[in-house]
Structure 1
């Protein structure tokens, strides 16, 4: 009889632990998941702007690729440009709001080093829609200049 009660007690503990995990997962709202950069992103193209309107657009291809990886607080990106042998990458912290992305780079490739030494904070307008996002460079007058457009790949 003691064996029976011990077995039932262990089974109840296992079932209750499993239910707690299921509840934890449900606590993350779909809206919160949508407004997150956490993951791996591939640049699919970019827009140039003139007078705050898209003036032309370019798609990424096998010769020019860029990947960004966001953890909950860190960003790392790398760019492949098969046309030349220049290395491009950067690493640092980031913060987002509903409409802004600010990356504070700690270090980067030799090509990025002069930009990081001059100003290591890069601010963008952010448009985030689930599995796509655009980071838009804004000039000193508040006008859009260039947008990098990404899709989530993981």
Structure 2
């Protein structure tokens, strides 16, 4: 009888060790999933534009006084709004996005009245992406892959 009790105790210990190991593995996987880095996640304000010719900056412009354009990214959604004090037209858009270390693709779902007309013609917008911890640029390319213009943003809190 004592021998059966010892075997039962050993089996219980082994089973509980196995469950503990599985839980630890699950926790590690969950932690890995939750700590995935999304470099664009957060809030950004446009600070200026670049125009390119022969893939070199030929003009740079800071945003005008009172002009504001803000983009907000979470893990897979983007929303932007633009304020142009001298313009009565409202500008905003909402949709999903994907980003790699060098590309940004936005798939717009809806927007302001004017933007909905643009979305009816073209809902997918693709850019070359240059991103750091505190800045990013989305650069429009022409059909040959040449740089055309960029919108430049800084991170805001």
Provide TM-score, normalisation by structure 1.
0.77
Once residues 131 and 141 of structure 1 are traced to their aligned partners in structure 2, the CA distance between those partners, rounded to angstroms, is 30
Q: Which runs of 5+ in 1 are unaligned?
A: 1-19
SS of the residue corresponding to residue 89 of structure 2 reads coil
* Matched residues, number: 127
Could you report, residue by residue, the CA deviation over 1:53-99 in whole angstroms, capped at 9, with x for unpaired residues?
Answer: 11101101333210000011100000011111111110000000110
* Runs of 4+ off more than 4 Å: none
Conservation of the 8 A alpha-carbon contact between 1:67 and 1:79? yes
Once residues 69 and 59 of structure 1 are traced to their aligned partners in structure 2, the CA distance between those partners, rounded to angstroms, is 20
Quick check: which has more Rg, 1 or 2?
A: 2
**Of residues 132, 135, 139 in structure 2, which corresponds to 1:136?**
139
CA-based RMSD: 1.8
Provide TM-score, normalisation by structure 2.
0.76
**Of residues 25, 38, 43 in structure 2, which corresponds to 1:40?**
43
SS of the residue corresponding to residue 114 of structure 2 reads coil
Q: Which runs of 5+ in 2 are unaligned?
A: 1-26
2:151 is the counterpart of 1:148: yes
SS of the residue corresponding to residue 140 of structure 1 reads coil
**Of residues 44, 69, 84 in structure 2, which corresponds to 1:66?**
69
Once residues 66 and 110 of structure 1 are traced to their aligned partners in structure 2, the CA distance between those partners, rounded to angstroms, is 17
Once residues 89 and 120 of structure 2 are traced to their aligned partners in structure 1, the CA distance between those partners, rounded to angstroms, is 18
